Structure 1
Amino acid sequence: MAVEDATPDTPPIEDPGAPDQLDDAARPQWRRDVAIFLSGQTVSLFGSMLVQYAIMWHLTLETKSGVVLALAAVAGFLPQAIVSIFGGVWADRLNRKLLIILADGSIAVTTLALAIFLLNGVTDLWLIFLTLAIRSVGAGIQMPAVSALIPQITPTDKLMRVNGINGSIQSAMMLLAPAAAGALYASASLIAIFFVDVVTAAIGIGLLLLVPVRTLVRAGERPGYFADLVEGVRYVWHHGFVRWLLILFAIVFLLIVAPSYLTPLMIARTFGDEVWMLTVNEIAFSIGMVGGGAIIAIWGGTKNRVLLIVGSSVVFGVLSIGLGLSTNLWVFFGFMFLLGLAVPFFSTTSMTLLQERVEPERQGRVFGFVGIVMAVSMPIGMVVFGPLADVVSVESLLVVAGILTFAVVAIAALVPSGRRAMAAVREQP
């Protein structure tokens, strides 16, 4: 495989094809490039999170309906699942920076269009769902490209720390975004938040333009698009560890992330429907994620990263039960903080393992499948848990989800495929 610059006057650089193809000498300005890239993505993410929180709160406070939240989750995640597999192939065939710019720009234009409709008095729910769906398509293109670009510009031995820093920065934005969204939603309007998202997207695109990104080109005859797609599917299916990790990732997302998406509904029904309560709920979770990301960035993680993934999954189950049994609002916020603290130990470790063990020319497609897993698990979980939340209490759903998580982790650790996957990671350098 050869790597060549997007500019035609730069000679190609031969690449050995191993996952650790980049070191400090190969890209001496990697710190500058990573800093600019992460800064741009963080600014863009901040605007997207403003929209996410504002729409979720708007639907929660206006409808108090689990079915409406379930439909919003389907609209916001299912298109991403459909597009991610194609987005992964594009990330392996095209310039990843260009893909990110096009996706971010399309999301901003869609948000601007919704703002204009709302200004003209068009407030139908289907319009919000349509906007969520289009934004989800953009995420399906952007996510694999971003995940594959980070190891492309970062030395492999720095990946865990860079991912930890990235997670901590994004968590800090998650801390700032709900507070800013709450202030804007209460004092201004939903439309004002949409305009802020457009501005932050423009800033993010401008910063990304400053980062030189090479386009990966495989040596020899270039396979067709669908040949790449099929090869990616075969790779994921036959790679024991990747397959095992994606299945565990999917089930954890289904059992933990989907029910936790209903925590604002639980707060509104049980503790009160004031905006500050919803804001503190998100802030508590975000503070925990900042702390968890900082620990990972400083510590660098344990060598047995599979054990860290399994252990954090068990912690998710404990905390889900704790959330469901909480009768005091501040105790509930405390469990949300701990849940956020545990997330980087699962997500950052999982992403780093994939970045380290998957060949660079396949990372786009693999992270496309990660996007599919994340995007499909959420709407499936919400299709189940959303309507149930209108029949039974959210508290009961959280407790049941936590108990099921214990069973899933035990099975994942004990089945032959799980033992083989964990043994393979321990044996390989």
Structure 2
Amino acid sequence: MELEMKQSKRQMYLLILSTMISMLGVSIYSFGISFYILSATGSAKLFSINLAMSVLGRIAVTPLSGYLADNFDRKKVIFWSIFIEAILVFLLLLYIHFLGFNIIALYIVTFFAAFISSASSPSFMAAIPHIVHSEHLQKTMGYNSTASSLSMLLGPVLGGLLYGFVSKELFLFIFVIAYICASLVILMINFKLFKKDDVVDSNDAIIEKEGVFKSFKYGLQYIWHHEILRTLLILFMSLNFFVSGINIGMSKIIIGHFEASSEMMGILEASFSVGVLIGGIIIGNKKKFDNPFPMLKKGLLLEGVFLIVISLPLLLMNSLWPVYITFFICGLLLGITAQFVNTPLFVFFQEHIEARVQGRVFSVINLTAQLLMPISYIIFGIIFDQGYYGITFLVCGVSCIVLVLSVMNQKFTIRSNKFLKLKYD
């Protein structure tokens, strides 16, 4: 047992290291590209299209990603996904170097990079219980988010300092090097150390023969017949429509409207990552949550409240520093809150969804959570280009609170408590 725990810790640290390296590359790259689009064009619509292309790429790969996770070696899926994405961005680097920057080329790469990256997402989520001991599961999820947030914190800060002093190609080159290093760390991890033999379901053999879309359909049916999962996914899909407006609004307001510097924007973008880092450290050291739903409800309500708070200086003052400070504080608190929502929830998914179907189910979760986001990005991009800042955040915040109170009502609490009691009994 002692040896197993030591091996589990080593695996946990390697997993965290891989995440930290890859996310540092992503955050520096994302900051450089985002700031370039907004500073060069001033258009929230063009910026929102780039974000929408990323989400569309993740949605398009959904049926394939679950099939890969449940029918292929998850370590190979993750390794090749990271490595091929590095090659793709390297090709964009060569294009820009020899032919110049082209926003259409960027949109294409954004789509396919998201497609490739998301192909391995269910594999990663389903593999974690096989990489670390069950006692380290919540700790791993919390610390992995902390590592990710630390990289997302450092990325915008470094990007803000580098922007204007280096070429656009350097942002792409950093991404390529980071992803190659992350893929090498993945090779050092044993993905079957804590794997248990699954009970074979006769349906699985049929699903494998029927291919990708039948496999995806199975995951969809699994969730549809699981009342708690179905309710949560519909709620998250609706909430993400409103919350995603902050991704467009913050950049448009600070860069496009107030014309703040790249350093200021980098610090502001880092606020959310600081919050996630703090939240990850706290939750990684907390006792495991037996029931994540009370914490989940409080966290989602707080997200709505923070959106309303963001709207106040925009409605009442509309000057840089009050808006900037409000964005920073709310971003910090949103990051902390996100950890107390996401980590217990995903631990719940990993423990209560059978390992043999986790890839298919996680792929459906990824799809439904993001389904309305491309539409959201385009709509909010158009709205923010018209200057409707404060009222938009106010409406989004109120809508979030109403949704949470309507869905996570007393009936939901009774059903979720009954489900957890049956599981643990």
TM-score (norm 1): 0.89
Q: 1:78 aligns with which of 47, 50, 56?
A: 56
Give the drift of 1:382.
0.8
Instruction: For 1:13-412, list aligned pairs within 5 A.
Output: 29-214=7-192, 219=200, 222-223=205-206, 224=209, 225-226=211-212, 227-300=214-287, 302-326=289-313, 327=317, 328=322, 329-412=324-407
C-alpha contact 1:259 1:397 (8 A) present in aligned 2: no
- What is the one-letter code of the residue matched to 2:329? G
Native 8 Å contact 1:286 1:337 kept in 2: yes
**Residues 28 and 295 of structure 1, relative CA distance in 2, 3 Å threshold:** closer
What secondary structure does 1:187 align onto? coil
| Distance in 2 between residues matched to 1:160 and 1:33, nearest whole Å | 14
SS at match of 2:259: coil
CA, structure 1 residues 399+52, in 2 after alignment: closer, same or farther (shift >3 Å)?
A: same
Change (3 A) 1:202 1:412: same
- Aligned-residue RMSD, C-alpha: 2.2
> For the Cα contact (< 8 Å) 1:24–1:155, is it kept in 2?
no
Q: Structure 1's 423 and 412: CA in aligned 2 closer, same or farther, altered over 3 A?
A: farther
Paired residues in the alignment total: 407
Q: Which runs of 5+ in 2 are unaligned?
A: none
1:202 is paired with a residue whose SS is helix
Q: Distance in 2 between matches of 1:105 and 1:379?
A: 26
Name the aligned partner's letter for residue 149 of structure 2. S
Unaligned runs of 5+ in 1: 1-22
Answer with 207-216 or 65-74: which moved more: 207-216
CA distance in 1, matches of 2:199, 2:20: 31
Cα offsets for 1:155-182 (capped at 9, x unmatched): 2232112111111111111111111121
Contact 1:84-1:144 within 8 A present in 2 as well: no
Alignment partners' CA distance in 2, 1:211 and 1:346: 28
Q: Once the two structures are aligned, what percentage of the paired residues are identical?
A: 22
Which amino acid in structure 2 is aligned with residue 248 of structure 1?
L
Counterpart AA for 1:64:
G
TM-score (norm 2): 0.90
Structure 1 residues 231-266: Cα deviation after superposition (integer angstroms, max 9, x where no partner): 222111111111122222222222113333421111
Bigger drift between 219-228 and 152-161 goes to: 219-228
Alignment deviations for residues 356-415 of structure 1 (CA, whole Å, 9 cap, x no partner)? 111111111121122213432321211221111122422221111100001100111128
Between 1:401-410 and 1:118-127, the stretch displaced more is 118-127
Contact 2:74/2:124, CA 8 A, preserved across alignment: yes
> Matched residue of 1:213: which SS?
coil
TM-superposed deviation, 1:38:
2.1
* Counterpart contact for 1:302–1:308, Cα < 8 Å: no
Take 1:78 and 1:185, find their aligned partners in 2: how far apart are those partners? Answer: 28
Q: Is the 8 A contact 2:142 2:339 kept in 1?
A: yes
Q: Give the conservation status (yes or no) of the 8 Å contact 1:244–1:418.
A: no
* Structure 2 Cα separation of the partners of residues 145 and 44 of structure 1: 16
State the partner residue of 1:20. Answer: none
